Each structure stands twice: as C-alpha cells, then as structure tokens.
Amino acid sequence: MMESSETSAQAGETVTVSLTVNGEPRQLQVTPNVVLLDALRDDLRLTGTKKGCDHGQCGACTVHVDGKAVNSCLRLAVMCEGRHVTTVEGLARDGQLHPVQRAFLEHDAYQCGYCTPGQMMSAAALLEDERIAADDASVREAMSGNLCRCGAYKNILEAIQDARRDVTAGTGEGA
Amino acid sequence: MDTQVIGHRTPRVDGENKLTGRADYTTDWYVEDMLHGYPVPASIAHGTLEALDIEPVLAMPGVVAVYHHGNFPRLYRSPSSQAHQDQVSEVRLPFEDERIHYDGQYVAMVVAERYEQARAAAQALQARYRQDDGARPGLLYTREDGRPLESEGGSRGDPESAYERAPVKIDHVYGIAPESHMQMEMHATLAQWRDGRLIVHESSQGVIYQQKAMARIFDLPEEQVEVISHYIGSGFGNKLFMWPHAVAVAAAARELGRPVKAVLPRQQDMESGGNRPASRQRLRLAADEQGRLQSMRHDSTTETSFVHPYVDSVGSPTLSLYACDNAAISQHLLEVNHGTPCPMRAPGEVSGIYALECAMDELAIALDMDPLELRRRNYNHEDPAKGLPWSSKHLDTCYDSAARRFGWERRDSAVGSMTEGDEILGWGMATSSWFAGRQPCMARVELRADGTVLAACGTQDIGTGTYTVVAQTVAELTGVPLDRVEVRLGESSLPAGPLSGGSMATATTLPAVAAAVRAAIDELKEVATDEDAPFTGADPDGLTFRDGALVDAQGKRVTFDELLTGQKLGSVNGDGQAAPGDEQQQYSFRSFGAHFVEVRWDPAITRLRVSRVVSSIDIGRAVNPATARNQVEGAIVMGMGMGLFEKLDYDPRDARLINNNYSDYIVTSHADMPDIDVELLDNPDYAFNEFGARGVGEIGLTGIAPAIANAVYHATGKRIRELPITIDKLLDI
Amino acid sequence: MRSFAYRTAEDISQAVTTHGADDHVAYVAGGTTLLDLVKLDVMRPSQLVDINRLPLSEVETLDDGRLRIGATVTNTDLAHHPEVKARYPLLSQALLSGASTQLRNMATTAGNVMQRTRCPYYRDASAACNRREPGSGCDAMHGINRMHAVLGVSDACIATHPSDMCVAMAAIGATLTLEGPEGVREMAFNDFHRLPGEQPEKEHELRPGELITHVTLDTPVEGAGAHYLKLRDRASYEFALASAGAVVAVEDGMIREARLALGGVATKPWRAHEAEQALHDQPASIETFEMAAEAALQDAVPHEHNAFKIPLARQAIVRALREACKDAENANPQR
C-alpha cells in the first residue's frame, strides 16, 4: 500500500484526494461526506459502477480497492487517498475483455445488466482469491453479496466457473 | 418456418455495452449545468403536513430550490387512460395538497448543485405533521373487504348448487403479503427543457406512455415531449407508467431553467414507487369421486392506495385453466394507507394461480389422488371462459416431460415420508400459465449504403433481450449478419411501440419490424429498377432479396450497399406496422407450463430450502433460446422469493413501511439457488403471429410459489396458506 | 448524509487526541456500520477520525498462547488467518456466516464489536427509540418485532445485537484492550456490552474517546470441537434469527468442558452460562443438549411476533452442540 500524507478536512471543506483509478492517477475534489461510489460516478464519470441500495445491501457498487472487492457505497472518497481503485471500466485490458466479461457474454449471465458490473468485480476478485474454494457451493456463497433481481444466478455461476478455466490457464489476469 | 437466426441461441447484441459499463442507464446520464433533486418523504402515512421549515434549508451549501405544496407550479392531471396511452401509476400530482395518504409520499423536493448537498438538505428539512388516527392498515391486518368490482366478476353454469351437490370439496382462504419489485435500478428521471421542448430520460418500460402523460400534465403537444430510456435496470412492472417523482423533476427543471436529475433512494423507491398489493382469496372447489371438477369459485380482495385505484386482477385464470362447467370469480378492492400498488411481474394471475394451485393440491389430498393426476383429469382443449379453442396448447407434454425429468413417479404421497439424513424431502407441483397478448405496433427499418441495417421502434429492452430479438428478426429476413444490424429502442420519437410488459413486447414488436423490413426491401426494389440502376426495367416483383442482395431470375446479384452507393443514396427506408387481427375471434391465446419443486426440510432446526426445480414451459417459439430460458430461470428465482421470503412489512398501528431496504426485505440470494432444469417446448404458435412467439417474461413466475407451498406440505404436513412461508410459520410454538 | 469533518490519525495517541473525548466525534475504520447509519441520519457525527493507518492490522500469537487481534484486521483476513482456522474454528465459521464477501473485506474486528442493532425503529430517525433517543419510547415493543430479542430485554428496549463474530468471541472468551485519554486498560469481552436496562443508549463500557485497539482471545479449550450454526430465512447475506456457537470437549462420552453463546436472540452477545452448567460432566447426548437448551432459554421473554425464536434458539443450540461433539470426535478419535 502506498504511503500517503495526512488528510484533514473541515465539514463542508473541499479537499484533494489523490488515488489511482484503473491504473491512472486521478484527483478528486471532494468534501468529507462524498462517498467513493458517488465520486466515481459524479466526478470521474465512471458510471459503470452502479448504485442499487447505497447501504451495502445489494453489491451493485462493488469495486476493487487495493485488489479487494468492497462496496463503494460504504467508503468515503477521502478514505481512498493513495489507494488503487479498479472499476468495471478497468476490467478489460488492452482492448481485450476480461475472461469474466467474455464468460458473462457467452453464458448470458445477466438480464437487465444493472447488477452486472458488481457481479463481475466480485467474480474477478473471487477467481484471484485462493482462500475461496472452487466448488459451486463455495462460489455461490462467496457471490451472495451481489443480488440479482432478474435472477440470473444460474448463468452467473456457470460463467464464473468457465472463466476460472481461462484465469487459471493464465490467459487472463485479474484486475 | 425454417430459420437461420430466429430460434437460435445468440449472445445479446447489447451485451458488450452492459459488460463494460458503457450501457447508458438513466442514472448514468449527466448533462451540462445539471442539478440534483432529492425528494423529501413524509414520515407519517395518514394525516396532514402542517409546516415545512424551508428557510434554513435554502441557506445550506449548494441548495438552489425547495419545491413543496406552497410553491409548486400548477399542472394538470393526466386522464390516465389505457386507451389513450397516457396512463400513469398515480394520478395525484406531487405536492397537490397537504394531505398525506401514505408513508413516503413526497412533501417536498430539494434541488441542489451536488447530490450530497441535496441529500444533506433533504435530511435537514424539518416537517411538522398532524397525524390522524385510524390509518387503515394493509389487507392482512383487517377483515374489511372494501367495495365490489363489477368489472372483475364472471361466471358460468351454477357453481353454487354444483358445489352443494358434489361429494368432495374444499373451502380455504389464501393470502399473499404485499411485495416489492426491488428492481436493481431505482426510479430515476433527468429532465431538461430546450426551447419549450421537454426532454426526459427516465428508467421506463413505456416511453410512449410517459411522453403522452407528460404532454397532458404540462399541457404540451405530444411532439414537444421526448422520453428516452435506452437501458433499464429492470422494472418488473413498476416502470410501466409514470410516477410523481418524474413530474416533480420535470417541473423543477422548467422553473429553474436548468436540467434536473433525481434518482430515488431505495427507501423511497420502495415506499412510493409501486408494489404488488396484498391479496386475500377464498377458493371453493368441488369434484366428483373421480376428481372431475364440478364447481370452482374464487372470491378475492386486493388492496390499493387512497390516491389511485389500482386493480390486480387475480381471478381470471380460474375461469380458463381447467375444464369445469360451473365457475365464478369475484373481486373487492380495499383502500389502505400504503403507497400505490401497480403491476408486478405476472400481475394478478400469479397471485390467483397461487391460490388456485394450492387449492387444487388440497383437493387432490381430499380425493386421495396424485395432484398431477387431478390436473390431467381436468385438462381442457378450449378456453371455457371464451368458448374458443386454444391456438396451441401442449400442457400435457409439459406435465409428462417435467414429471419424467423430476422423477415424480417415485413420489411417496405420505407426508414426511421421504427422508435423507436429518432432512425430509417434499415434492410439489403446480401448473403455470400466462395469457398471450399483442398490441398494435409500428417500426422503421433502413437499409444503409454502408452495408448496415437499422431497425427502430419506440419500445424498450428491460433486460428481456428485445434489442437482440429485433436484431435477429432483421438478420433473419435480410440475411445481413447480426454485427451489421443496429437496433434503436427506448425513444418516444421512434415509431410507436409497445410497453415492455405483460410478455407482449416480442410478439408485438417483431411482426412490425418484419413489415418494415419488407417495406424497405420493396423500396430497394423500386430503386433497383429505376433508370440507370442495375435492374433497370425489370419487374420489381421478379427480384428476390437474400443474404443482403437483390437477385433476379438470371442469377444477377447486387448487394444493397453496392446498389445504394451506385445510386448515390444513403439509405432506403421501410415503415411497418402490425396489429392483432381476426385470429383473436378464432382462438384463445395462452401459454402453459408446469413446475415441479423439491424442498429440503430439516425439522430439528426448522430449516427449509428449495433444492430442485424442474420446469417445462410452452411459450410457442423461443426467438432466442438463451435469453428466453434466462427469463424462466430468473422467474423461478423471483418465485422462490414470493414463496419463502418476500413481504413488505407495514406497521399495522400507523401503516408505515418498516422494511424499506434490501437488507430487511429479503429477496433470493445466490446461495439459495437450487438445481434448476428448465425446458422450453418449441411449438411455434403461428396462429398468434408469423414468428409463432407468445412471450416469456411472466409465465415462469406463475406456479412457483404454489409448487413450493405444496412441497412444503408434503414435507412438513403444514399447510401454510399465507405467503411468504417463513420460519416462524413452520415452528410449533 | 449530513456534513462532517474528517481527519486521519497516524498513531493511537494522535487518534485519541484528535477525538478529544467528544461525543460527536467517531472513529472510523471499515465504516460499514457507521456510514450506513450516517446516511440514515441516525448517527450525526461532527467529525470522523480515520484509524486505518494505525498499526493495528496484525494478528499475533502471544507467548501464553493467546491470540491478539489488531482492531483494524478485517473480518475476511481474520476468518482466513491460519491460527484462527486451526485453533479458533468457531470464530472463523461465525465470521464467514456474517454479511457478504465485500462487507467482510471492509468490516474490522473492533468495528464489529461496535456493530449496532438492526432494529428497524432504531434505524428510522423518525420512530420512537430509547436507544437512539433516550426517553422517546420504543416503537418495537408493540410493533413489528419478529427480528427482536427474547433474552436480556428490558421495558425500554428489545433490540437484537446483530454480530456473528461477537457470538464466537463470547463463547471463546476474550479480552479487549482499550486506549483513551486516561491511558490503556483491559476488559473482559463479556463485560463490554451492556444490557439495555433503563439506559439502552449506553450500549457498552467504552469511556469517552476510548478506542478498542486489540481483541485478545483466550487460549482455546484443549481438544474441543466447535460449531457455529446460524438459522435465518435465506441461505446467506442475512442476519440471524437465531444462532448458536458451541465449543465442547468430550472425554469418554462425557462433556468435560462446554462453551455456548447465542446470537440473533439477545440484546448483547449472549454467553449461555446456565446451559454450560447443564452440560458440564454430563453425557454427550441429545437429551443433555435439550436440557441445556431449556436452561439457556428459561428466562426468555417473547413479544408479539418473535415467540418463535425461543424454540428456534433451542433447536440451534441442540444442533450446534451435536455438531461440535462430532467435530471433537473427528479431531480426537482416540477419546
């Protein structure tokens, strides 16, 4: 983790937060009560990350912070000084879809698509996490923080297990 | 019809947009100078707003305006006519008066420069209420029935005396808790006014309807309103017709001369953005000793709000599903102090089929008969409600196939008899059904000089795959590959298309698109046979169009892009329209299917899980088997929620909504997933339309909750007649 | 979410100084409870002190065999820590049964000790709630109280403590290290959370400005088996209706030592001492487990919608004990 300077802001005061988003250094000008999710969307216009509940109850806003899947609706932007954030816009590399994206397309692992960025960010992190077993039941449990009201879970599971073959074969690289 | 693209699985044409974050949902729109609106919800359900302390809020950082009853511009109500397509979800305008009719009704809307500023100001706004006693609680907490609805009644034969005469009968009351759509994308509106013209981005299942309703409310010519909805984070019915937030946002944008966007917080979306109303249903069924139905009576009560009379028509399937000479339905409507209900996936029928299919299970038990056998003995070949033959019914095949794949013949009918370790297996089944409807529709197709084809229609893709099935239709009829077909939907300026609802969009849209393709090809033939054209002087009717080219009898072949380029034309256009016709007088149209469910019940820890679902569904032709199957699988997931988890909890003391969030309102999670085996029969229904497709969005949901309830009875011996079947109802206290 | 100030702290003393023992200042680490409640307008801090940079992210085994967990160790890292999995499987199971992958990646050990109730009336700033607003009344008492507590309730409050992690810690036994303006002190985990009594707003024994810096687990019961069972409506991502965490050591078919704690049914993480006494030196049998379950719930007080939790909690206890005994057998086949 990058060392960074102290942050101090009065209520309502706008401060600069420097962070890395999808590999690019970015700066945010935000007050302390701005949430990472809203900063990504409203300020950086990275609108792929979605708001479904704003309370950590649905998973639509899942992004990676320093490689870990988190709910961006429950993290203040000012808490992200020096952090590395990856959103769905950073999942594809060099114009190539991430194996999880390819598998979601192939398996029709979505319907309306609104929870999909969050699903894929969780899936991409899961496939890189050796602590989570590869069997279907473990994947289902690990993915339960991403609700899909369209109910595409069957195809989501199939897509993740399919992408696993690509990721473990080394053709893909986790975000 | 021998097809190359239709009926074949293909990835969604809009898939990559959804997978990369590029898909532009309403919430994703930002325009220059845009302000953020944040509605302020009432914290009482019954009473009067007495005061709002506006001044301190106006002084807060970034706050531009606060709208409320005292300063909201005068607007007109929409007539809310289905026939005129200006239907709205709630006829009452926002801030119309100071009466509060339900928890979460808007009392104000703050508009600010930043989202955080609008939210902080909305939370800081102090409101004073006079709360009246006697808030009417939901249907589940009262014995009141409300007023009878003549329009929802129907009968044949003499069900009352047939019931009295019959040897075997059951008489039970079933209840369903109010449910929330919980679509992932909350209601959202971005409104902007340009030179007197209103442009609205809305997460909408019906851009044409919203255009017309907005025109009525703001007293504008329809062409001065444009409604755009390219991607919808689904709707399940609560985005069919416009809600008051959209009116508030559009009015604020007009008053301020700046674009305004509001995305409802989830809490508000659940309080004031629609719900499936609770229902109470009495089923009286009677049969002879052989299980032949002698009498069916289905008397229902549903609830609505005090500001909009929404009727969830629950009884109608009972008149059509089985052969029975004596049948009657009736319905009452009760106003309660809840937010206004609206259609929710398979509206009405899913609730009615729940009660009917549980009652059939109870009748089978009373007859000591296998529940599947009871359905078979009452199979019908025509619609008894209309006296017309079914256009295409293969429910018997559904029963056979699903029962075989499920292993139904191994079922031991004795309650609690099938054990595995700590667990008891319960097996239940139910019939599934949804009427097949079609609306008039227009579409436009352009063959373009760059070799691409554009198809456009003012309908929407709510995640069901409309973009893809339209592209498949164009590709099928032109031979142009899918990657050269562009589809535009979700704009009210496009040729008028249908609501994305009632499983009607595919059956309605594709014939119009096909007509437009043919019109464009006819136009191309005219161009091709003009002077100085490749087929000058030829009879246009002698030319055929295949694989993207015109071909004459001699085998001369010119692709449409070569032709257009040579003629210095950018494109040729075809307008098409289609509507239901005489077939409606010859047949009755309905889809059927069967669900078989296994639950696992661990009585020592009161743990109930759905472990297996096997379904066979006949929807006519599945235009895209991948997206169609996904619809049914997803409906099963939602049906598990209806059966086991979902309930809007309104406090009966004051009618306030207690569980207005994704944590306390439980929907099915990934870990709840059973093994699901869905089969779609492929029996094109050409009487219905040229593609034989009847639609698939709703049907999968019908029958799941009763199949679960029936399986729960088989496992536990407990007949739970009020959904959802939660742990507390299964425990002996 | 209203306006507030924000400041990072680099070390513990700076954090404590910055906090200044001001009631309106809150420490923030994972933020999963705090920001949720600030958005609901239930908590209205004037300032947040970010403690994520404090050197409190380590898990270490002390010389006496106890395990010391830093305040900011995430639930995920704690659940998967090799020492936790090997020596404190109950804690690992409890952690992994809570919330979601993403929330566990954010939520911290000390934050989870400080987790707030999920009572919907507490979470609704316009409802009457003695815990949120002392003296305002309790809308849950005669309201929708299906999720509410049956143990440790008072006339002022029946809100359930929601944590799974804390149930495991209550059973295992632990010591909290607290640091504040008056220095460092230690407190037994089971003394930390308060029963609501007449003052439900006083949820714990933290003094103004104090920070939980570490949780140190007692040495594990030798040769014991463990099981955490969480019963709820859906299979994941939901709070418990009833949960039981059991640690049982069995010798020659007799229970040598048992630890039992309950979640989802009590106003604080609930160590079931009466049940433990009923188990001690008794045969490891279903009959014994049922007697223990009776003992654990003997003082339970139901309300209109939550009476089912009493038999449900008994069921959770019996099954958790059975599974813990099986686990003990598997771990120690010679006994």
What would the pLDDT profile of A95-153 be if each residue is shown by its tens digit? 999 999 999 999 999 999 999 999 999 999 999 999 999 999 999 999 999 999 999 99
pLDDT of residue A174: 42
- B7 part of a folded domain: no
pLDDT of residue A175: 39
Q: Distance (Å, rounded) from C-alpha C264 to C-alpha C115?
A: 13
Q: Distance (Å, rounded) from C-alpha B244 to C-alpha B106?
A: 9
Cα dihedral sign, B366-B372-B375-B377? negative
Q: Is the pLDDT of residue A172 over 50?
A: no
Q: Is the pLDDT of residue B309 over 60?
A: yes
- B25 part of a folded domain: no
Cα dihedral sign, B647-B650-B653-B655? negative
Residue type, B574: G
Characterize the bridge pairing of strands B590-602 and B607-618: antiparallel
Q: Distance (Å, rounded) from C-alpha A16 to C-alpha C10?
A: 19
Residue type, A157: L
- B538 part of a folded domain: yes
- Cβ neighbours of B214 (radius 10 Å): 27
**Residue B549 three-state SS:** strand
Q: Is the pLDDT of residue C334 over 80?
A: no
B643 DSSP assignment = I
pLDDT of residue C187: 98
Q: Is the pLDDT of residue A1 over 50?
A: no
Angle among Cα A109, A113, A114 to the nearest 5 degrees reads 130
Render pLDDT for B171-181 as a digit per residue (tens, 0 to 9).
999 999 999 99
Beta sheet of C47-50, edge-to-edge order: A8-9, C5-8, C47-50, C25-28
Render pLDDT for C19-35 as a digit per residue (tens, 0 to 9).
999 999 999 999 999 99
- Give backbone dihedrals phi and psi of B491, rounded to 5 degrees, phi first: -135, 130
Residue from B179, B357, B446, B698 carrying the catalytic annotation: B698
pLDDT of residue B1: 65
- B144 part of a folded domain: no
Same domain, B250 and B311: no
Secondary structure of chain B: what % helix, strand, coil (to 5)?
A: 30, 30, 45
Chain A residue closest in CA terms to B15: A105
Render pLDDT for B512-539 as a digit per residue (tens, 0 to 9).
999 999 999 999 999 999 999 999 999 9
Same domain, B550 and B668: no
Query: A144 vs B634: CB contact, 8 Å cut-off?
Result: no
Render pLDDT for B37-92 as a digit per residue (tens, 0 to 9).
999 999 999 999 999 999 999 999 999 999 999 999 999 999 999 999 999 999 99
Short-list B547, B549, B546, CA closest to B535? B549
| B301 close to B146: Cβ distance less than 8 angstroms | yes
* HSE-CB of B628 using CA atoms within 13 angstroms: 29
Q: What's the CATH class of domain C5-50?
A: alpha beta
Render pLDDT for A146-161 as a digit per residue (tens, 0 to 9).
999 999 999 999 999 9
Same domain, B248 and B299: no
Q: How far is CA B710 from CA B355, B428, B430, C227, C277, in A?
A: 11, 5, 8, 33, 43
- The residue among B536, B559, B579 that closes a domain is B579
Query: C235 vs B649: CB contact, 8 Å cut-off?
Result: no
pLDDT of residue A171: 47
Give chain A positions within 8 Å (CB) of B662: 52-53, 55, 57-58, 147
What mean pLDDT value characterizes chain B?
A: 97
Chain A residue closest in CA terms to B636: A151
Chosen from A21, A85, A91, A112 to mutate, greatest number of chain B CBs within 10 A: A112
Render pLDDT for C36-86 as a digit per residue (tens, 0 to 9).
999 999 999 999 999 999 999 999 999 999 999 999 999 999 999 999 999
Q: Distance (Å, rounded) from C-alpha C221 to C-alpha C252?
A: 17
Render pLDDT for C288-300 as a digit per residue (tens, 0 to 9).
999 999 999 999 9
- B625 part of a folded domain: yes
Q: Is the pLDDT of residue C14 over 50?
A: yes
Same domain, B100 and B115: yes
Same domain, B554 and B420: no
> What is the number of domains present in chain B?
3
Task: For chain C, report the end-to-end CA distance as a whole number of angstroms.
Answer: 57
Pair of tokens at residue B270: 């659940």
Calculate mean pLDDT across residues C153-170: 98
Element (H, E) at C284: none
C39 contact A CB<8A: yes
- B488 part of a folded domain: yes
pLDDT of residue A166: 87
Q: Is the pLDDT of residue A169 over 80?
A: no
- B170 part of a folded domain: no
Chain C residue closest in CA terms to A67: C105
| B360 close to B376: Cβ distance less than 8 angstroms | no
Pair of tokens at residue B73: 């511009």
Q: Is the pLDDT of residue B390 over 90?
A: yes
Element (H, E) at A5: none
H helices then E strands: how many in chain B? 17, 33
C103 contact B CB<8A: no
Break chain C into its structural domains and give their ranges: 5-50, 225-331
Q: Distance (Å, rounded) from C-alpha B647 to C-alpha A11?
A: 39
Same domain, B261 and B326: no
Same domain, B604 and B667: yes
Pair of tokens at residue B43: 């914290």
Short-list B645, B676, B619, CA closest to A155? B676
Same domain, B296 and B199: no
Same domain, B494 and B419: no
Determine the CATH number of domain C225-331: 3.30.390.50
pLDDT of residue B470: 98
Q: Is the pLDDT of residue C264 over 60?
A: yes
Q: Is the pLDDT of residue C335 over 70?
A: no
Q: What percent of chain A has pLDDT over 70?
A: 94
pLDDT of residue A4: 56
CATH number at residue B546: 3.30.365.10
Domains parsed from chain A with CATH numbers: 15-90 (3.10.20.30), 99-168 (1.10.150.120)
| B352 close to B702: Cβ distance less than 8 angstroms | no
Query: C100 vs A59: CB contact, 8 Å cut-off?
Result: yes
The boundaries of the domain holding residue B539 are: 438-579
- The residue among B535, B563, B579 that closes a domain is B579
CB pairs under 8 A between A and C: 106
| B317 close to B66: Cβ distance less than 8 angstroms | no
Same domain, B613 and B628: yes
Element (H, E) at C249: strand C242-251
- B148 part of a folded domain: no
Secondary structure of chain A: what % helix, strand, coil (to 5)?
A: 35, 20, 45
- The residue among B579, B600, B623 that closes a domain is B579
Chosen from A63, A121, A144, A148 to mutate, greatest number of chain C CBs within 10 A: A144
Pair of tokens at residue B82: 């289905």
Render pLDDT for B642-657 as a digit per residue (tens, 0 to 9).
999 999 999 999 999 9
Render pLDDT for A19-51 as a digit per residue (tens, 0 to 9).
999 999 999 999 999 999 999 999 999 999 999
B518 DSSP assignment = H
Calculate mean pLDDT across residues B534-547: 96
pLDDT of residue A168: 78
Same domain, B203 and B94: yes
Q: What percent of chain B has pLDDT over 70?
A: 100
Residue type, B106: Y
Q: Is the pLDDT of residue B314 over 80?
A: yes
What mean pLDDT value characterizes chain A?
A: 94
Query: C39 vs A142: CB contact, 8 Å cut-off?
Result: no
Element (H, E) at C322: helix C309-331
Same domain, B497 and B571: yes
Catalytic annotation present for B373:
no
